Each structure stands twice: as C-alpha cells, then as structure tokens.
Structure 1
C-alpha cells in the first residue's frame, strides 16, 4: 500500500471581496465618532455644544497620527512579554508591502491597520462625555495622546494581539467590550475623581439642549456599529460575521425596550433620551459577546444590559461623582455586563466551541472573563487618574469657574453653536425692516 501523501495547507490569498468589505466596515466605524459627537453634543447645555463636538473630532486627528507613527506597532506588533507589541518595520508604515497579508487572513495589513485605527480613534472620544463643560481643550488633547500611548495601545495588545496575556488566557472580546468600553469607562471614572464636579452639580438643571441631535447621534452609532462588530471577524466566510451582525441588531433592540420599560415603571414616562441610551447600552453589551451567543442569548444580553445600565446611571447621584453624560453607567457597566455574560450564555456554536454555564460549560470561561474585565478596569482607572493628576498639577485640567459658568464654547473656541440673532427674521430682522421702511417714507416725502 502506498504511503499517504500529506498536502500542505494552501496559504491564504488576497481576496478583493473581503478587502472591499473591510474598507467599508472601516468607514462605518469612522462614522461612529461624528455620531458620538452628535450624541454627546445634544446631551449637553447650549453653551458646551461645540466643545463636546470638538472633543470627539480632535481624536480623529491626534490618534490617527500616533497610530501611524507607533500605535499600530505597539498594539499588534511582535509580542514583548505578553504586555506590549513592537515591530520596528511598522513604525510609520513605510516598510509594509501594499499586498502583504495580515497573517492567517485574506486582507492586506494596511486594511487591518486602518480598521483597527478607527477603534483607536473612538475609544478616547468615549471618555469625553464624562468631562463635559469643564476641561481645557489643550489639556484634553494632551490627555488623549498620553492615554492612547500608555493605556489603549497596551490594552489592545493584551486582548487582541497575538501573545497578549488576555489573548493567551482565552478571554473572549469579539469587538471591544474590554479593550474599548470598559477601558474608556474606567478611564472616565479615574479622571472625574481627580478633576471634580461641574459647577452647580445636583443644584442647577443640566438637561440636554437638543434631543433631536441625541437621536441622530444614536442612530449613526447604531448604523456604524454593524461595521464595528461584524467587521471584527475580518471578512471570514464561515457565518460568524453574519451571526454578529444579527446579534448586534437583536441585542440593541432588546436593550432599548428594556430600558424604556424600566424607565416607565421607575419614572412614569418613555423618554427619547432613554431610548437612545438603551440602544447604546445594548450595542456596548453585545460588542464582546455577539460572536459567542445565539440570537436568543443576544436578547438576554441586551435586556439585562438595558435594565442594569438604566439603574447604574443613577449611581452618580448616590456616590457623588459627576459623570456628565453617563459614560461610566453605560460604557463601563455595559461592557462589564456583556463581557461577563459570555461565561453564562456562550453557546459553543459561534466564534469558538467555548460553552458558558447555561450550556453545560461550567464557570471556567466566566472566571477568565472576570480576569480580563477587572484587570483592564483597574489598570485604566489608575493610569488615567495619574495622568489627569499630573496634567492638572502642571498645565491645569479645568477651565476657570467663571469660564465654565459663562460657557466653555466661548472660552475655548471663541464660537457658539447657534446664532439666534438672525434666526427666522425675528425681532431683530423685523426692527431693521421697519426702520428701512420708515427711512424710505422720509426720503419720498
């Protein structure tokens, strides 16, 4: 009998379809940052609108440059001690071949790089919602540059980089529950504990100035999140990306409904702000778990996150920390919920064969998820607080009290979001017209 011949596995080849899909997914993730800007911008008072928009937009500039210079290498380069990566040929991206493939996949390294860049951009922007009304724009810009370097890039390597300790441990994070949402939420908590509360916190009304902007922003986030989540399977055609797409929709819907029901029972009304916040809570919670759970599991993840996040946003009044736009209550808490529920609802039929407690897998995966969740939370909270403390003691983190009361838009940007003086030909326009008519009659006389 002739010996069996073992054929080497065929090396992946460049796929134009997967490449195109991932470029579209990258664009969808990028549009989430302007969506976040509108979401946050509508939630603040009129006098802080432009500052809130700019705190997101500046991340698109700063983080892009850092990612090209060294961020991509730190996050996804060759592992160095399970903590950080580094590949010198990736510094500046000048030595990467245009058709050089990301290992094990059918897309170029450049495509993977730019997809991950969009994650790196939105993560520090998420923090900004907790700091509304009171942070110097220069201080914020320096903070996100340092935070991305010392926190986001290393944590991304832990979770997604080959050789990262959380990756090696088997912590599941499909698209960023730990690396993005817990990371940003914990950072927000660390910073606000250092810089303190807004002037008038718990005393002055601080209601959203434009709920239509909030709804527009949440809609753009929901739309872009399909690229964020489904794109994270990098175009593989085994159905997991499609499962993640479906679960993203299902969990978001469930969370929005659950938040609204809780809100009606607790406060007596279904609010548009509640609908938008519930949707975002569902998106956050399904981000780490959507590739591991079934659609029924996604309903459970979304519903649980909707209720618990709705409850969590009120904790700032109980404990006295001023999380202006509920970054801690939605992103940190939602990320924790979604990550830990993998240990309960993982079906073993998605991205891996790992099964959660309710599918006969015991608590093994749950404890792994706990390790990833609380390591990232603790690291980000502590380092972020230290960075905020150093910046506050050197250049100052906050605007003055007078500038905060008058409005940070004028103080930091010399602009206002709305010009009411000429809107619709009101009093001013009418007075000018009347005056012109009077002058005309005098001339005719």
Structure 2
C-alpha cells in the first residue's frame, strides 16, 4: 500500500475511534435517564418523581463539578501519594480544550454521574432532596473522583502506585470497583444511617408501582451499557469481544434470576427479569474485555443467583435496601470482580487461575475490593454524619406518609381522582392519614430528622 493511502487509512481509523467515543459517551449519558425510569417504576407512586429527580440532580451537580475540578481529579498530576490528583491541574477544563484528551474526559464524567445516581435507589421515599444535592457534590468529590483515579489513573493501584506495587494492578475494565462496588458500599452506609421506611416489611405494600416502566428502564440501561463497556475499547477485536459479552452476560443472569425465583417462590416475575438483566450487566462490567463469552455466561449466571438470593434476604435481616442497590450492584459487582481471578484470559493481561495464572490475580482482585469497601465506607460515613448533624438526612414521618413527591417537590406524577374526597392527587390530602395535617404524628424520641 502506498504511503499516502496508508496514512489516509490511519487517519480514517483515528476519526472512527473518535466518533465512537462521542457515541459511547452519549450512550452512557442516556443510561442515567434510563436509571431514573428503572428506579421510578420500582418505587411507590407517591415517590416516583423524587426518585427521578435524584438522578437528574446527579446529572446537574456532577456535570458542573466536573468542569470546575472533577476533570482535574480524574487526569491531573498525582498528589497525596497517588490518593487523588491535583484538582487545579485542569480547573475549568484548562489545558483540555483543543486537545483530544477532552474527549476521554467527556466519556469519564458520564461514569461519575451514573455512579452517584445509583446510590439514590437505596434511600427511596425518605430522604431530604436538598441534603441529597449536597451529598452528591461532596461524595463525588471526595469518594468517586479519587477512587476512579486510583483504579484507572496514575493512583494507588497503578503500576507505580503504592498498592499496585504490593498487590499488582487489579482488572477493572469498565467499573466493577470504581462504579458498582463503590456505589453499593455507599448505599449500604446510607441505609444503616437513615433507617428503614415506615412500615417496611415483605407484606407492607411497598411494591413497585409501574413494572412496565421498570422493564423499559432496564432495556435502556442494557442498550446504553454497550457504550459503557465498549467505549474504551482500543481495537476492533476488543470491541467485538466486549459487545458479545455485554449481550450474553445479562441474558444469562436474567435466566438464572428467573430460575431462582421459580424454585424459591413458584413463579418468575417481570421485576426479576429486569433486575436479572441489571445484575448481569454489573457482573460483566469489570470483566467485559478479559473473559470469553462462555466465561461471561458463567460468572453472570452466578451473579444472577447470588443477587436474587441477596434481594430476598433483606426482609429477614431488616435492611431496607429500597430498590436493591446493595443486592444487585454490590453483590454482582463483587462476583464479577472476584471471578476474574478464575476466568481472566491471558490474551488481555494477567491470566486467571483457570488459564494457568495461579492465585496471584485472585489476591489482587480481593485486595482491591477490600480497599474500595474500606475507603468508600469510611468516607461515606463521615460525609453522611456531617450532613445528618447539619441539614438532616431524613424527611419527617408526616411527610413520609403524605409522600415525598408532594412534600419535597409539590408535585404528583399521576392526576388520579380520589372518589372518596373528590380531590386529584397533588391538590389536597386524600384522607386523614396518620401524619397528615388532619392527623399529625407525635414526635418520637430519638427519631432521625
């Protein structure tokens, strides 16, 4: 091939790669509205708008933080021994405008947005919206950006980082550690601090109010996840493998979840199908470029079973993980991350145990998982306690009975007329429920307001 033609082919390949990165960033961005639909359908009718607003708040806050200092914390010069990056290196995107590096930063911020939004599902129906907005700003700054830098940048787990030199670099291609385990641990901390919803229990009536919305949201998430996983692919061959794994992993987890439901409960549910899809997507996220499609099926099937069992366990232990953030993202994130110790293929880096790599990679993955859990858990606890002391985390019991949509946003998702009162939803209290203006709830000593 003549040199001119070869140069033209290279230029076209580079352009195609840039276009794909733009498309992938758009796909991942669209996942957050998809998550809003998924979570909105899973909550009760009187909390659907608040649930969606929490995702949209993450879109707004994280986007602005990214421009001001977040982009620097993802790709700036290391400080504090690689714990994070200098937040002033690219403040205001300085030094990135006019550079191809801005394209990668654009892609990265969409991960930060959805990571924060994921946490919101654990504290549905009972959280002050203003506190959530402030939590988003502080948490993404102190927890997400540093942790993403540690895992994907020149931080602690890099080849030259302190933990990377001791344990080796963990495999986390698209976010098992930085996104899902991170969000799952933060969600667990908030659940324990805020407490359960009023009347929480298996027979409390706190069921998803719109299952078609849940299934639509899961479909949008699955669609966007092709960009989530394959957006950082460096070759066509790698992108093809990631695409195949992103297709079969949620399929396997969904079927495994439905089978678990059928054996345990006697029926398979649409909620189980949607949740199984998400569990499989979570499980394959860290491993999407490092396992074969058969390996993806195996690890995701295990994740589907484990998450289904974990979700069923929450009522027994009294953990009000409202929309199953811990049961799905934490559990399946750990399964996918740890499974790499067995299933990682040698052509994409360090091999796992089944490919002659010994136990070394397993030790690395376990060490990284433990560090993320410890770092996120401690920082989230400090942030949440500070906000609890200053702003309050939880709405009042009265507001919880009326509904978080009306009390936090003065809106209602559905204009459904109550025949007993003649009022439409959002116009006036339907009836004198405990906690309304007509029947105030007495203050409970020690309540978390």
Please indicate, yes or no, whether the TM-score normalized by the shorter chain is above 0.5.
yes
The one of 349, 367, 375 equivalent to 2:363 is: 367
Deviation at 1:240?
1.1
Deviation at 1:97?
4.2
Larger Rg: 1
Partner of 2:329: 331
Q: 1 CA distance for matches of 2:395 and 2:84?
A: 35
The one of 284, 295, 314 equivalent to 2:282 is: 284
Partner of 1:161: 153
Q: 1 CA distance for matches of 2:16 and 2:336?
A: 31
Partner of 1:420: 416
The one of 409, 413, 429 equivalent to 2:405 is: 409
Partner of 1:117: 109
Partner of 1:8: none
Matched, 1:396 2:414: no
Deviation at 1:341?
0.2
Q: Deviations over 1:248-287 (max 9, x none)?
A: 1111110001100111011111100000000000000000
Partner of 1:61: 60
Deviation at 1:166?
5.2
Distance 1:201 1:428, change over 3 A: closer
Q: Conserved in 2, the CA contact under 8 Å of 1:79 and 1:164?
A: no
Deviation at 1:89?
4.0
Partner of 2:227: 227
The two structures have a TM-score, normalised by structure 1, of 0.88
SS in structure 1 at match of 2:71:
helix
Q: 2 CA distance for matches of 1:256 and 1:240?
A: 25
Q: 2 CA distance for matches of 1:144 and 1:165?
A: 25
Partner of 1:196: 195
Partner of 1:139: 131
Q: Deviations over 1:320-349 (max 9, x none)?
A: 221101100100111000000000001112
Q: 2 CA distance for matches of 1:171 and 1:301?
A: 17
Unaligned stretches of 5+ residues in structure 1: 1-11, 101-107, 430-445
SS in structure 2 at match of 1:171:
coil
Partner of 2:207: 207
The number of equivalent residue pairs is 403
Deviation at 1:163?
3.9
Unaligned stretches of 5+ residues in structure 2: 1-9, 425-449
Partner of 2:270: 272
The two structures have a TM-score, normalised by structure 2, of 0.87
Q: 1 CA distance for matches of 2:208 and 2:14?
A: 46
Q: Deviations over 1:218-238 (max 9, x none)?
A: 0000000000001122xx225
SS in structure 1 at match of 2:398:
helix
Q: 2 CA distance for matches of 1:341 and 1:190?
A: 25
Q: Conserved in 1, the CA contact under 8 Å of 2:72 and 2:90?
A: yes
Runs of at least 4 residues of structure 1 off by over 3 A?
none
Partner of 1:310: 308
Q: Conserved in 2, the CA contact under 8 Å of 1:189 and 1:328?
A: yes
Q: 2 CA distance for matches of 1:330 and 1:51?
A: 21
SS in structure 1 at match of 2:394:
coil
SS in structure 2 at match of 1:241:
helix
Deviation at 1:315?
2.6
Deviation at 1:87?
6.5
Matched, 1:43 2:46: no
Partner of 1:3: none
Partner of 1:441: none
Q: Conserved in 2, the CA contact under 8 Å of 1:79 and 1:161?
A: no
